[in-house]
Structure 1
Amino acid sequence: MKPVDIARLHTLGAPSLSPDGARAVLAVTRPDLEEDAYLGSLWTVPTDGSAPARRLTRGQRDASPLFSPDGRWIAFLRPDEDRRPQIHVLPSDGGEPWRITGHPLGAGAFTWSPDSTRLAYNARVPEEGRYVDGTPDKEPPRRLTALKYRLDDFGFTNDRRQQVFVSAPVDPAGEAGEPVQVTVGDTDHGRPLWTPDGTGLVFDAALHATRDTDLVRDLWVCAPEAGAEPRRITRGDLGARAAALADDGATVYFLADELGPDLSDFVGRVTGLWSVPLDGTEPPRRLTGTEDPRMVQTPRVTDEGVLVTGENRGAVELYRVTPGGVRSVVHGGHVQVTSFDHAGGVTVVASSGERDSGELYAVTGDGPRRLTSFGDPELDPVAVTELTARTVDGTEVHGWVAVPEGEGPHPVVLMIHGGPFAQYGWQLFDETQVYAAAGYAVVYCNPRGSSGYGQEHGRAVIGSVGAVTSTDVLALLDEALTDERLDASRVGVMGGSHGGFMTTWIAAHHGDRFRAAISERAVNAIDSFHGSSDIGPYFPEPLYGPPETWAKESPLSHADRIDRPFLIIHSEQDWRCPVEQAQRLFVSLKRRGHETEMLLFPGEGHELSRTGLPSHRVARFEAILEWWARHL
């Protein structure tokens, strides 16, 4: 796989099933290097496997399809002439779609009313005179009064809050009527969900007085009308989101994080599946434990239990959880379930694996049945082998190694993921494939601090992030280097975000193990990160400890010990790990006369390597390969 081959990979959106379960519709998106954009359209496929998938829409940027409860309509998002997503509706039996929203900043997540006549959805409401005339530099100054005022890869939120709207009745023969704005207030409201009787909307929001200094989000319910007074369902002590309702409307199932006594300690906490009565008469009840898989997608209620996905040792599996909390695997193993749906007794999953970037499957009692063939048949990925190691204290470290073709010995790249509460997994990973195809053995793992291995594992790095994580990743590297096909004298280390933090840390503390390093979008100095990052006011103390320990825990404090060639990659619009984090490290190394370079990408945020412009993703890969060719 070459850098330009990212155009041969695709992404599947969330599938939507017709009410009888006979048909699925989903969006398929690919990077397009000529357009330098991500292009996609809607596809449909019968779930009995009787016919191949066929393209449903002619749009180039269609996404998020959803069948109406009566099966007559499919709502989806399509950009308007200003490339802002608006909700469109398409007759499910064929025909031309029409637009039903026209918000100046576009529309977002939506759900159908039970009678299939209206949609409840999210849309951002800009302050007057902002975001509408294409001249942002001439807008008036922003007056900031709260800590939560911006978000990476998005921008400022304080002057365009996300509200809940209800559309006019769907009418293909007439003009779209005016929507009703249901919510107001200086906070963002989450995806609305109709109650089964159509008289209420359930959504998540932080409406409490201390929302700027804690991480609490509650579930609320209100009537689908302007000026409706919301009623709180949860109890003000969880980070709640992603609600689903039982068929009778009596119970709400949702995902939530516990937040500790100060309501802001989220680090390494395993997201659970919870339930609560819609009437709020009982407190929420946790159905999955803190050492169970971390639940990651909106649940779906079925007659047999609640379907929900979870991270488990590098996999993302689909589970069924009973109201009593009994969990079973519906679709698991070496898979990455990215989305799913259930209707008419049929369950479908969009799932990728070690050799493909995603297909749609019908899950049956006899196992999964593949329904689509979107993958490039000529793409032949390098095989990845599972690997485990143990540290001196007996901690198991789980990871993988990809070895290129040929006898070797091959130079080695040690990759470290971000988070830290995230995971590498069983997937066709473009990073692994590009480096392995270029001749490098790639070693990567889920050290302590990673998700997918329980809360104790996830919180084990608190207060000693660099030391604990480096112990684990170096243990797996040592295990990998017992393979004579790997060259222990030619090893590089790289990582992004938390992985960039660890790259700088390891280069300073264990530099003798490596020939060179690449640190991307890193946290390097905790003190300035605290004030400059969009999550800075809440992130450092739960992970790195009190302010008096930040200097010791910051990789920048140890940069004078780095004696290996060092490449820094960062995005100019990164608000998660702001560019000053890269600049401070660059100046520190450069002032010493050290061999260092910095590659800055304009217009990109923290997610450059995953969702940045396709041309920038290719340029990033080419720069990395050139650096490794020069030093390994």
Structure 2
Amino acid sequence: MRPSDIVHLHSISAPTLSPDGTRAVFSVIRPDLEEDAYTGALWSVPTDGSVPPRQLTRGVRDDAPTWSPDGRWIAFLRLDDDKRAQLHVLPADGGEPWKVTDHPLGVSGARWSPDSGRLAYTARVPEPGRYAGVEPGKEPPRRITGLKYRDDGLGFTNDRRSQVFVTAPIDPSGEPGEPVRVTDADAEHGAPAWSPDGSLLVFSAARHDTRDTDLVEDVWVCAPEAGAAPRRVTSGDLCAASPRFSADGATVYFLADVLGPDLNDFVGQTTGVWSAPTDGSAPPTRLTPEEGPRATGKLQVTDEGLVALVENRGAVHLVRVPFEGGEPITLVGGAVQAQSFDRRGGVTVAVVADGAGSGELVRVAEDGEQDLTSFAEGLDPRPMTELTAHTSDGYPVHGWVTLPEGEGPHPVVLMIHGGPFAQYGWQLFDETQVYAEAGYAVVMCNPRGSSGYGHEHGRAIIGSVGSVTATDVLAFLDEALRDERLDAARVGVMGGSHGGFMTTWIAAHHGDRFKAAITERAVNAIESFHGSSDIGSFFPGPLYGPPETWAKESPLTYADQIDLPVLIIHSEEDWRCPVEQAQRLFVSLRTRGHEAEMLLFPGEGHELSRSGLPSHRVARFEAILDWWSRHL
């Protein structure tokens, strides 16, 4: 895989099934270097695999389809002339789609009512005179009174909160009617879902008085009408998401994290499946163990139980949790990462990736999975080899090594992931494949602090992030270098976000092990991160400790110990790890005459390497390969 081969990487949206389960509809999105954008359309495939998929739509970027309960309609998102996603409805048996919303900032998270007559969704509501119909630089000044006022990749949120809406009755023959605005609180509202009888909506939101200083997200229910008064279902001490009603409407199931006594301890919390009575008559009950796998993505209520995705040692499995709780039943397991799913009409489909591909749609059955799509093309990825190392005190560190062609010995790139509560795993990763194709052995692992290995593994770095993580990644590197095909004399280290933090830390504390480093979108100085990041008001304390320890835990404090060449990559509009984090490191290195370069990407945020402009993603790869060619 070469940098420009990102055009061969497709992503399949969450699939939606017809009510009888016989057909699946999904979107396929790809980077397009000619358009310098991401383009895609809706596709359909029978779930018995009898014929190949066929394309349904021809929009620039059609996405997020959802099938109506009566089987007549497919709602989806299509960009309007201002490139804002609006809801459209397509006849399931063929025909032209029509637009049913016209919000100035677009919409997201649509769900059909049980009678297929309306759609509930969220849309951002801008203050008058902002965002729509006005030049950004000519807007009035923003008056900010709270700490949570912006998000990376989006921008300011205090003046365009996400609210819940319901469309007018779906009518293909006339103009779309005015939607009903259901919520109006100065808060962010999550995607809604309907009760079985259509009388209630359920959604997550932080509507409580202390929402600016804690991480609580409650589950709320209300009538799908203007001026509705939402009623809280949960107890004000969880971070809840993806709520869904039971078949009888008496119970709400949802995903949630425990937040500790101060309601802001997010570090290593293992997201679980929970339930609560809809009427709020009893506190929520956790259905999966705290030490069990971390749930991720969405939750779906089926006749047999609750279906969810869970992380497990670099894999993401599809499981079914019994309504009463207990040990989940694995539906899709093994060395794969399930990305999304749907179940209707007794049929389950899922998008599943492994080390050889970025994800295909499969039908899930007791005797295995049946492939329904094969969109991968133009790539022949190098295989990942699983490896477990041990630290000096015997702690296991799990990860992978990917070798280039040839006998070696090959120069080595040690990659460190972000998060830190995230995981590398069983999925085709463009970073790994590009570097392996260029001749580098790629070494990557999930040290303490990573997700997918239990509650204690995720929390083991609290108060000593740099030292503990470095112990694990260096032990894993040592084990990988036992293979004579890897050249221990030519090793580089790189990472982004938390991985960038660790790259700067290792360059300062263990620089003698490496020839060069690339630190991307990093946290380098915790004190200024606290005041400038979109999550800085709450993030540092639970992870790095009290403010008096931040200098000791900051890589920038030790920048004068760095003696190896450093490439610093950052985005100018990164609000997660603001660009000053890169600038301060660059100035510290250059003012003492050290070899350092800084590569800044205009118009990009924290997610550049994953969802930035295709041309910028290619330019980033080319700069990285140039740096390694010079130093390794």
TM-score interval (norm. to shorter): over 0.9
**Residue 498 of structure 1: aligned partner:** 498
TM-score where L is the length of structure 2? 0.99
SS at match of 1:340: strand
Alpha-carbon RMSD: 0.6
- Tell me whether 1:373 sits opposite 2:345 in the alignment: no
Counterpart mapping for 1:562-581 below 5 A: 562-581=562-581
Counterpart mapping for 1:4-43 below 5 A: 4-43=4-43
Contact 1:251 1:278 in 2 (8 A): yes
Residues of 1 paired with 2:17 and 2:246: CA distance? 18
Residues of 2 paired with 1:95 and 1:421: CA distance? 45
Contact 1:355 1:427 in 2 (8 A): yes
Residues of 2 paired with 1:373 and 1:558: CA distance? 49
Shift of 1:557: 0.1
**Residue 306 of structure 1: aligned partner:** 306
SS at match of 1:296: strand
**Residue 431 of structure 1: aligned partner:** 431
**What letter corresponds to residue 333 of structure 1 in structure 2?**
G
Counterpart mapping for 1:509-588 below 5 A: 509-588=509-588
**Residue 353 of structure 2: aligned partner:** 352
Residues of 1 paired with 2:370 and 2:253: CA distance? 28
SS at match of 1:297: strand
Residues of 2 paired with 1:238 and 1:558: CA distance? 37
**Residue 474 of structure 2: aligned partner:** 474
Shift of 1:324: 2.3
Contact 2:192 2:201 in 1 (8 A): yes
- Show structure 2 runs of 5+ residues with no match: none
Contact 1:435 1:442 in 2 (8 A): yes
Residues of 2 paired with 1:173 and 1:25: CA distance? 24
Residues 466-495 of structure 1: per-residue CA shift (max 9 Å, x gap)? 000000000000000000000000000000
**What letter corresponds to residue 6 of structure 1 in structure 2?**
I
Residues 491-527 of structure 1: per-residue CA shift (max 9 Å, x gap)? 0000000000000000000000000000000000000
**Residue 52 of structure 2: aligned partner:** 52
- Tell me whether 1:61 sits opposite 2:61 in the alignment: yes
Contact 1:244 1:298 in 2 (8 A): no
Shift of 1:134: 4.4
**What letter corresponds to residue 133 of structure 2 in structure 1?**
D
Residues of 2 paired with 1:403 and 1:58: CA distance? 40
Shift of 1:58: 1.1
- Tell me whether 1:603 sits opposite 2:593 in the alignment: no
Counterpart mapping for 1:150-299 below 5 A: 150-299=150-299
Residues 561-604 of structure 1: per-residue CA shift (max 9 Å, x gap)? 00000000000000000000000000000001000000000000
Shift of 1:308: 0.3
SS at match of 1:299: strand
Residues of 1 paired with 2:121 and 2:9: CA distance? 30
Residues 109-135 of structure 1: per-residue CA shift (max 9 Å, x gap)? 110011000011101110000001241
**Residue 333 of structure 1: aligned partner:** 334
Residues of 2 paired with 1:477 and 1:540: CA distance? 28
Contact 1:350 1:361 in 2 (8 A): yes
SS at match of 1:358: strand
Residues 234-276 of structure 1: per-residue CA shift (max 9 Å, x gap)? 0100000111221111111110010010001101111111111
Residues of 1 paired with 2:190 and 2:385: CA distance? 40
Counterpart mapping for 1:1-150 below 5 A: 1-150=1-150
**What letter corresponds to residue 503 of structure 1 in structure 2?**
T
Residues of 1 paired with 2:303 and 2:192: CA distance? 23
TM-score where L is the length of structure 1? 0.99
**What letter corresponds to residue 405 of structure 2 in structure 1?**
E
SS at match of 2:104: coil
Residues of 2 paired with 1:521 and 1:10: CA distance? 25
**What letter corresponds to residue 109 of structure 2 in structure 1?**
A
Residues of 2 paired with 1:298 and 1:382: CA distance? 31
SS at match of 2:610: helix
Contact 1:413 1:494 in 2 (8 A): yes
| Structure 1 residue ranges, 4+ long, deviating more than 3 angstroms after superposition | none
**What letter corresponds to residue 394 of structure 2 in structure 1?**
G
SS at match of 1:501: helix
SS at match of 1:40: strand
Residues of 2 paired with 1:620 and 1:297: CA distance? 29
Residues of 2 paired with 1:365 and 1:56: CA distance? 30
Residues 414-442 of structure 1: per-residue CA shift (max 9 Å, x gap)? 00000000000001100000000000000
SS at match of 1:474: helix
**What letter corresponds to residue 379 of structure 1 in structure 2?**
L
Residues 165-207 of structure 1: per-residue CA shift (max 9 Å, x gap)? 1100000001111111010011111101111111111011111
Residues 370-411 of structure 1: per-residue CA shift (max 9 Å, x gap)? 0011111x4110111001000011110000000111111000
SS at match of 1:220: strand
Residues of 1 paired with 2:522 and 2:153: CA distance? 16
**What letter corresponds to residue 176 of structure 2 in structure 1?**
A
Contact 2:60 2:79 in 1 (8 A): no
Shift of 1:281: 1.1
Number of equivalent positions: 631
Counterpart mapping for 1:615-626 below 5 A: 615-626=615-626
Name whichever of 302-311 and 562-571 sits farther off.
Answer: 302-311
- Show structure 1 runs of 5+ residues with no match: none
**What letter corresponds to residue 355 of structure 1 in structure 2?**
A
SS at match of 2:263: coil
**What letter corresponds to residue 359 of structure 1 in structure 2?**
E
Counterpart mapping for 1:403-482 below 5 A: 403-482=403-482
Contact 1:67 1:74 in 2 (8 A): yes
SS at match of 1:279: coil
SS at match of 2:358: coil
- Tell me whether 1:364 sits opposite 2:365 in the alignment: yes
Residues of 1 paired with 2:77 and 2:303: CA distance? 30
SS at match of 2:585: helix
Residues of 1 paired with 2:128 and 2:57: CA distance? 35
Residues of 2 paired with 1:268 and 1:134: CA distance? 42
Residues of 2 paired with 1:550 and 1:83: CA distance? 42
Identity %: 72
Residues of 2 paired with 1:276 and 1:319: CA distance? 20
SS at match of 2:30: strand
**What letter corresponds to residue 359 of structure 2 in structure 1?**
G
Contact 1:349 1:362 in 2 (8 A): yes
